[in-house]
Amino acid sequence: MNILMISPHEKNINSGAAGLILRIGERLIKAGNKVDFLFRKDLKYFFRNPAYSVFFEFPSKIRKYISEKKHEIVDIYGHSGFLVSKMNRINWKYIFRTGGLDTRYFYEYYKVQEELRLQKYSWKFKYRSSRIFKREKIAIKNANGIIVMCNQDLNYIKNKFKQQPKLITAIPPGHYGIPKSINSYNQREGDILVVAWYGETKGFRYVNSALEKLIRNNPTLKITYAATVKTEEEIRKDLPKNLVNNIRIIPSPAHDDIINFMDNHKIFLLPSLFEGYGMAYLEAMSRGMVIIATKTGGASELIIDGENGYLIQKRNIQEIVYILNKILNNKIKWKSVSSNACNSVSNLTWDNTAEQTLKFYKEVLNSNG
């Protein structure tokens, strides 16, 4: 099969969207398919600002690029393919792929933030959002097939979009396999790990407040904030004073370093207010970590509360503190949840993701839609 995979992001195996496409594509190539990749920096732009170039130029440039190539499947991440979706397609099919719908993002996060009067958004933001939603609607309407990561997005499309293709599927991302030996509670020197960019959407306001309370009775806790993107200096200015000495901050670690952090910490804490899927949850579970997450994205499908992890209500500081105390003071419970976490995701590998993707491509090619 001749496949073109496109992402408006920078080519980076460690990033979410681009990493997803690269990991799947590499395995499709090993299976005997021809796969080409196209990322933002592979094209030249008039605008120097990356946000402008992606929003205004990328959709038209990939449309021109596709018209000059010959592929059976064109798999485009996000709403950038809305112009491609309008093209006449005789010998090829267009796949709309997303790791998290922008429309679901708006209603799950931004709308709630305004209702709670935590944030107020300008008319510029609302105008830009409305344009994104229109693009998403067009891409979904005209796609030959849709791939999302979780059932939340799949159900959202089926319930909210009147026009959609018949072929829609949820294919979760993968991990690199369960280690032969999982580190025990005592082998893990770190206590709590958070892997996410440092921002409101990832729930850091509540994480900081919860850890500030926890540290009062556990002054020796070892905490790591990794992949924060923001600098250590910026984050330390925002931290409560009594947390500063307990938190190690690693703004841009390599993927291998993140895996090492997961192997050497007991609890993975990420109570996000919104997740498209949350690939970090899956990877952490595959390394035997005990997860504390909210019911958004893939976490609600991966985790059975109290058995292989914990699902909490959004913005609930007391619940975070209660579960952290419960796990950190009970090695037997930690071992049970850790073991269940590994077992429950054992089949969710990148090889499995690629296999399901190829199967869906064939289904779309054989369809009349």
Q: What is the pLDDT of residues 146-159, one digit of tens each?
A: 999 999 899 989 98
Give the position of tokens 């935590």: 118
Question: What pLDDT does 130 receive?
Answer: 83
User: Is the separation of the CB atoms in 72 and 1 below 8 Å?
Assistant: yes
Distance CA 103, CA 106 (A): 5
> Which residues belong to CATH 3.40.50.2000 in the chain?
2-174+349-365, 190-344
Degrees (nearest 5) of the Cα angle 233, 222, 294?
85
The helix (run of H) or strand (run of E) holding residue 75 is: strand 73-77
Specify the amino acid at residue 128.
Answer: R
Domain 190-344 falls in which CATH fold?
Answer: Rossmann fold (3.40.50)
Q: Per-residue pLDDT averaged across 204-224, rounded?
A: 95
Q: How far apart are CA 325 and CA 79, in angstroms?
A: 42
User: For residue 116, what pLDDT band results from cuts at 50, 70 and 90?
Assistant: low
The predicted structure's pLDDT at residue 115: 65
Of 115-129, 256-270, 280-294, least confident by mean pLDDT is: 115-129
The residue that leads in pLDDT, 23 or 114, is: 23
Classify strands 265-270 and 290-294 as parallel, antiparallel or unpaired: parallel
As a whole number, mean pLDDT of residues 65-90 equals 93
pTM over 0.85: yes
Residue 209 has pLDDT above 90, yes or no: yes
Query: What integer pLDDT is reported at residue 334 of this predicted model?
Result: 97
Instruction: From 364, 358, 362, 7, select the one nearest 171 (Cα to Cα).
Output: 358
Q: In this predicted structure, which of 17-31, 36-50, 283-297, 320-334 has the lowest mean pLDDT?
A: 36-50
pLDDT at position 113 over 90:
no
The SS3 assignment for 248 reads strand
Confidence of residue 369 (pLDDT cuts 50, 70, 90): low
Nearest to 140 by CA among 56, 55, 65, 78: 78
Q: Residue 45: which pLDDT band, with cuts at 50, 70 and 90?
A: confident
State the residue for tokens 């991990």.
175
- Residues whose CB falls within 8 Å of the CB of residue 309, separated by 6 or more in sequence, listed in order: 281, 285, 290, 291, 292, 293, 299, 302, 303, 337, 341
DSSP 133-197: HHHHHHHHHH-SEEEESSHHHHHHHHHH-SS--S-EEE----BS---SS---TTT--EEEEEES-
Distance CA 331, CA 191 (A): 12
What CATH architecture does domain 2-174+349-365 belong to?
3-Layer(aba) Sandwich (3.40)
Residue 160 backbone dihedrals phi, psi, to 5 degrees: -105, -25
Asked whether the CA dihedral 176, 181, 185, 190 is positive or negative, the reply is: negative
Mean pLDDT of the chain: 92
Write down the pLDDT at residue 103. Answer: 79
Across the beta sheet with 2-6, what order do the strands follow?
34-38, 2-6, 73-77, 93-98, 145-148, 168-170
Say if residue 251's pLDDT is above 90.
Answer: yes
Rounded-to-integer distance, Cα 2 and Cα 248, Å: 46
Tokens of 91: 């010998």
62 neighbors 39 (Cβ within 8 angstroms): no
Q: Give strand pairing partners of 250.
A: 226
